[in-house]
Structure 1
Amino acid sequence: MTDESGRGGEAEPLKDGEAEGGVTKEKSCAGKLGLSHLTGWRTAAFLLSIFLCLAVIFAFSFILPCPVRPQYVSTWNRTVPDAATFDFLAVEDANEDKVLDVFFIYRDADASRNTCLNADLSVPCLVLTAVDGTNGKSLWKRALSAEFDWVECGVKGLGHKGSGCLVAHADNLTAVDKKTGQIMWQHSRSTLMHGNLPLISVPDLNSDGKEDFAVLSYNPDALSFTPTPTELVFFSGKSGDQLGSRVNVDVNGVFAHLHFKTASGASYLLLLTDSGLYAVSLGRLAALAKPGFESALKKEKSWEELSDIHTGFISLYQSGFLKRVLAVQGSNPPSLLIQTDSSVSLLQTDKLKTAWTTNTSTLLSEPTFGQFDKDGIPDIMIEEDAGNQTKRVMVLSGHSGVVLWEVSLLFWPPSPRPASVLTLNTYSVFMLWGQTNQTSQMQSSFLLHPRYSKLLLERRKSSQNIVSFKATLLERGRHASYLVLTGPDGRRHTDDSEPVILTKRKIKKDVEESEVYGVTADELISQDAEDSVREAFHRLRFSEIQ
């Protein structure tokens, strides 16, 4: 009996527990009641969270305004009657709408009379202006005293705002805020005899929290009989005050210069002279201006090993026929393109050796960089004079210097230099100018797609005096456009009786209004080929990295 009773307890433990006074049963009911209250609180919390989420979504969707991306006009014109302009176009975001705006400068006697007089300036005066990149409407105008020398926008460190435009005019050096057009500071140019572009940006030398800059003075006119010393002057970007003393750059025959950074970030001043190309460390020059300034500037060890122990100059390229030196855009490591009377060469700055040399005739314009083939190395478009008002436009391989593409076009000087815009497909679209018909008074722009290199898209325009031309992206990854500034050239004409016109056109807009032109004159162009090249341009997506 005892054994059977024990086995029954093991077989039904819950039932056995309930038999002992019913305690287990009562605890079970209480547990169920607590669970019921907990489940209710959870349900309420869940419903409340849903309500809060819906309230937030409603607020952001209907109450708080969503940011609206500016809607740009594909083509716009900005006209200034009775004026003259200069070869200057810059793009910066002045109104902070994430679309780049356009800066240009003109001399205007009549239309800007009130602008000049309101600034207590005599007529005519210079007018630096910013227009909205989306629609061409004026953002601001800044009247400045006449006698234009040069202007550069996007200069970092200017004033308290951080960047702006620096204008050399009359006897003044003036910093203008790119957002408002207000003058941030203005100083006499007594410290500069000539002050040539490009500006040389340098780190914060005087520890005021803003970047500084330097200006190199020399007389680039080889026919001038007035001896002019080559001097470097450092300035505070924040206040415009001179930093340290003027530095005499002891080299003769300087006619151009370039600020160059090596792969390690070391800053050098490149000097183009009658005898060749020389470099000198900016750190060395900064130390001569004021001891201690050099601490903010790096030096390249491999370059310094080749420098003259007394002068610090480094001979990079010896030639008595040097014409132009350009930093190759997008090259890694940085390279230099060197142009002489009869050749272009690529100088590798990490090895200080010439990678290749290609013979040319006289070049008509500054070379343009872009991606033509698929090797990822920037290629070079050049225009050489072929005689009889004909130019030969070529694309040279950045790797070897061989000719990858060429076409012959008629031209009437002055003709704008080519330009390029990089696409997301790692190749660039090139834009060039010329004529295909000798009897026509129309000037044409041409679009070149590297994957359809036997064809060009030609858009004919009325003949106008193009003073400046620029192709660029006005918005990150999109809004690929070109800018054309026409009118009397202020450096050549004193008569301001014609209008100055700034035009912006979307590049793809030209595709619809262009004719297909064969690079080879005897090549037959089928309708399928026309349709294919137009479709290829329409499918393009652009990159902001050049």
Structure 2
Amino acid sequence: MADESGRRFEAEPLKGGEAEGGVSKEKSCAGKLGLSHLTGWRTAAFLLSLFLCLLVVFAFSFILPCPVRPQYMPTWNRTIPTAATYNFLSVEDANEDKVLDVFFMYKDADASRNTCLSEDLSIPCMVLTAVDGTDGKTLWKRPLAAEFYWVECGVKGLGHKGTGCLVAHAGNLTAVDKQSGVIMWQQSQSTMMNVTLPLISVTDLNADGVEDFAILSYYPEAPSFTPIPTELVFFSGKTGDQIGRVDVDMMGVFGHLPFKTASGAPYLLLLNDSGLYAVSLQYLVAQAGLKSALKKEKSWEEKSDSQTGLISLYQSDSLKRVSVVHGSSSPSLLVQTDSSVSLLLTDQLKIAWTTNTSALLSAPTFGQFNRDGILDIMIEEDVGNDTKRVMVLSGDSGDVLWKVNLLFWTPSPRPASVLTLNTYSVFMLWGQSHGNQTMQSSFLLHPRYSQTLLERRNPTQNILSFKATLLERGRHACYLVLSGPDGRQHTELGETEPVILTKRKIKDDVSESGILGVEANEPISEDTEKSVKEGFYRLRFSDAPL
């Protein structure tokens, strides 16, 4: 019996404990009651927290709804009848909806009459306009006194609000807020009449917390009226006041370009009858009696003239144009002469390659053609008989990677490129195919289908400005065309032709385009046409800087 009792106790220890004294049973009941009470509180706390979470979610769903992404029209037109316009297009986000908007300038005696009179301006006046990139509707208009010299938008440090548009016109220099069109400041500057772009951005020179800028003024030299630079003027970005100036007495200069070396040292490049020269911005600032912490490039300064500060970079008596080539650790310079283009390595100050050309028709366009990570160059050269040869040169070697002959008109828009996520660019160019001498055509070039072009035929128009870009981050690839009478040539408005600003989505052109073989007699099959168009439809674009 004793053994059986023991076995029963081992088999049921709790039961055996309760029988032995009764104390364990009372403790067990109390424990169970406490546990049940605690579990109830936990359940109530869980349900309460769940209720509060749901309440917060629903409340914020109504109070702070998710932002609605702007819906854009793939194509829109903005028409201004009986007007004239200028070779100027710029894209900036004016209404802060994360879609870039479009800025352009026109002169109109009729449609802008009330706009001009509201600011006590004589008619016709000029109107700087910002239109919504999504649908082309007007965001704001800023009437300004004619005559037009130049305009640049995206200038940093204007007024108190950051970037804006700077307009030189009628002896004035005017800063316009890009968001509202309000004039931030206006200064009378008669020396601005013969200024040529670009502006030269500099650091804060007068310690007012805003970036400043400089302008190089040119005046015609009698009797040849060849423009020569006379002075470099430094302005406060905040107020437009002149804060310094330095005389520029280098004869034969016909152009300039701001440039930063790989180390961040800013220089001013001067295009001269005898070649390309550079001068340190720090040197010019000091000559103007101003202080700055600007850098100098040691390897460049070893070659500088101690009297003038000039550094000879490239010698040529037929220099035409210089462009900055980014995309590598050290920016390079593409130097164009009457008969060649050359790549100048700025870290070594030597020529990497030279390619012979005939007379070039426009500034070069940069993009990725062969996906080697080095920017390639599209150029247009005149080969006679109203025909141009469009070529893509390797940025690495200068070799010709692609070419085509097209008819063209004067002036013809320069090519453009848009980068894709596949690390190559889609190029867009203008001309006329040999079977089409009556209409203007825009062409799309896909590097993976380089033996063909997509051709979209357009009515004849006087195109003054053209730009291909992305209006949103990573999407909304489109192109802008500004056409109409040239405002520089039509001082009196008696024209019947309107000014038209058009935005078109690049992919929308694919369905409206025919296919053209790069080789004149190359037949194109239906399967090839379908394959090429599908390649364009699959494109995804990138806004990474070139």
TM-score, scaled relative to structure 2: 0.94
Question: How many Å separate the matches in 2 of 1:409 and 1:268?
Answer: 38
| Cα deviation 1:66-108 (Å, max 9, x = unaligned) | 2111111111111111111110000000011111100000111
Q: Do 2:369 and 2:376's aligned partners in 1 also have CA atoms closer than 8 Å?
A: yes
In the alignment, residue 24 of structure 1 is paired with which amino acid?
A: S
Q: Do 2:220 and 2:228's aligned partners in 1 also have CA atoms closer than 8 Å?
A: no
Q: Do 1:410 and 1:438's aligned partners in 2 also have CA atoms closer than 8 Å?
A: no
The residue number in structure 2 matching 1:446 is: 443
1:344 aligns with 2:341: yes
In the alignment, residue 508 of structure 2 is paired with which amino acid?
A: K
SS at match of 1:337: strand
In the alignment, residue 356 of structure 2 is paired with which amino acid?
A: N
Matches within 5 A, 1:374-523: 374-437=371-434, 440-496=437-493, 497=495, 498-523=497-522
| Cα deviation 1:365-391 (Å, max 9, x = unaligned) | 111000000201000000000000000
| Cα deviation 1:120-164 (Å, max 9, x = unaligned) | 000111110011111111111111000100000000111111111
Offset at 1:237? 0.9
SS at match of 1:197: coil
Between 226-235 and 456-465, the greater mean CA deviation after superposition: 226-235
Q: Do 2:228 and 2:254's aligned partners in 1 also have CA atoms closer than 8 Å?
A: no
| Cα deviation 1:472-527 (Å, max 9, x = unaligned) | 11111111111111111112233432211111111111101010001001111111
The residue number in structure 2 matching 1:152 is: 152
Offset at 1:51? 1.7
Offset at 1:44? 1.3
Question: How many Å separate the matches in 2 of 1:68 and 1:53?
Answer: 24
Matches within 5 A, 1:215-254: 215-219=215-219, 224-225=224-225, 228-243=228-243, 245-254=244-253
The residue number in structure 1 matching 2:539 is: 540
Decide whether aligned partners of structure 1 residues 260 and 229 sit closer, same or farther in structure 2, where only a CA change above 3 A counts. Answer: closer
Residue identity over aligned pairs, in percent, reads 77
| Cα deviation 1:258-314 (Å, max 9, x = unaligned) | 11111121111111111111111111111222342x21x222222222222232211
The residue number in structure 2 matching 1:177 is: 177
| Gaps in structure 2 of 5+ consecutive residues | none
| Cα deviation 1:166-190 (Å, max 9, x = unaligned) | 0000110000011111100000114
In the alignment, residue 118 of structure 1 is paired with which amino acid?
A: S
Q: Do 2:201 and 2:211's aligned partners in 1 also have CA atoms closer than 8 Å?
A: yes
Question: How many Å separate the matches in 2 of 1:52 and 1:499?
Answer: 62
SS at match of 2:507: helix
The residue number in structure 2 matching 1:263 is: 262
Question: How many Å separate the matches in 1 of 2:455 and 2:225?
Answer: 47
1:300 aligns with 2:284: no
Offset at 1:192? 4.3
Decide whether aligned partners of structure 1 residues 220 and 254 sit closer, same or farther in structure 2, where only a CA change above 3 A counts. Answer: farther
Q: Do 2:368 and 2:419's aligned partners in 1 also have CA atoms closer than 8 Å?
A: yes
SS at match of 1:47: helix
In the alignment, residue 526 of structure 2 is paired with which amino acid?
A: Q
The residue number in structure 2 matching 1:320 is: 317
The residue number in structure 2 matching 1:214 is: 214
Question: How many Å separate the matches in 2 of 1:17 and 1:221?
Answer: 118
SS at match of 1:196: coil
The residue number in structure 2 matching 1:38 is: 38
| Cα deviation 1:417-443 (Å, max 9, x = unaligned) | 000000011000000000113663201
The residue number in structure 2 matching 1:138 is: 138
Q: Do 2:108 and 2:126's aligned partners in 1 also have CA atoms closer than 8 Å?
A: yes
Question: How many Å separate the matches in 2 of 1:71 and 1:138?
Answer: 16
CA RMSD of aligned residues (A): 2.4
Decide whether aligned partners of structure 1 residues 344 and 477 sit closer, same or farther in structure 2, where only a CA change above 3 A counts. Answer: same
Offset at 1:12? 9.2
Q: Do 2:149 and 2:193's aligned partners in 1 also have CA atoms closer than 8 Å?
A: no
Question: How many Å separate the matches in 2 of 1:477 and 1:227?
Answer: 42
Q: Do 1:211 and 1:237's aligned partners in 2 also have CA atoms closer than 8 Å?
A: yes
| Cα deviation 1:323-367 (Å, max 9, x = unaligned) | 000001434321111000100001111111111000000001111
The residue number in structure 2 matching 1:531 is: 530
Question: How many Å separate the matches in 2 of 1:541 and 1:439?
Answer: 31
Q: Do 2:482 and 2:499's aligned partners in 1 also have CA atoms closer than 8 Å?
A: yes
Question: How many Å separate the matches in 2 of 1:223 and 1:530?
Answer: 58
Decide whether aligned partners of structure 1 residues 128 and 26 sit closer, same or farther in structure 2, where only a CA change above 3 A counts. Answer: same
SS at match of 2:197: strand
In the alignment, residue 247 of structure 2 is paired with which amino acid?
A: N
Q: Do 2:271 and 2:277's aligned partners in 1 also have CA atoms closer than 8 Å?
A: yes
Q: Do 2:220 and 2:227's aligned partners in 1 also have CA atoms closer than 8 Å?
A: no
The residue number in structure 2 matching 1:50 is: 50
Q: Do 1:219 and 1:255's aligned partners in 2 also have CA atoms closer than 8 Å?
A: no
The residue number in structure 2 matching 1:84 is: 84
Between 388-397 and 278-287, the greater mean CA deviation after superposition: 278-287
Q: Do 1:60 and 1:66's aligned partners in 2 also have CA atoms closer than 8 Å?
A: no
Aligned length: 543
Offset at 1:14? 6.6
SS at match of 1:230: strand
Question: How many Å separate the matches in 2 of 1:67 and 1:188?
Answer: 44
Q: Do 1:368 and 1:418's aligned partners in 2 also have CA atoms closer than 8 Å?
A: yes
Decide whether aligned partners of structure 1 residues 220 and 264 sit closer, same or farther in structure 2, where only a CA change above 3 A counts. Answer: farther
Offset at 1:46? 1.4
In the alignment, residue 337 of structure 1 is paired with which amino acid?
A: L
Between 150-159 and 223-232, the greater mean CA deviation after superposition: 223-232
| Gaps in structure 1 of 5+ consecutive residues | none
In the alignment, residue 451 of structure 1 is paired with which amino acid?
A: R
Q: Do 2:165 and 2:175's aligned partners in 1 also have CA atoms closer than 8 Å?
A: yes
The residue number in structure 2 matching 1:196 is: 196
In the alignment, residue 245 of structure 2 is paired with which amino acid?
A: R
Question: How many Å separate the matches in 2 of 1:464 and 1:443?
Answer: 8
Question: How many Å separate the matches in 2 of 1:420 and 1:277?
Answer: 27
Decide whether aligned partners of structure 1 residues 99 and 107 sit closer, same or farther in structure 2, where only a CA change above 3 A counts. Answer: same
| Cα deviation 1:30-80 (Å, max 9, x = unaligned) | 222221121111111211222222223323444533211111111111111
Question: How many Å separate the matches in 2 of 1:53 and 1:529?
Answer: 58
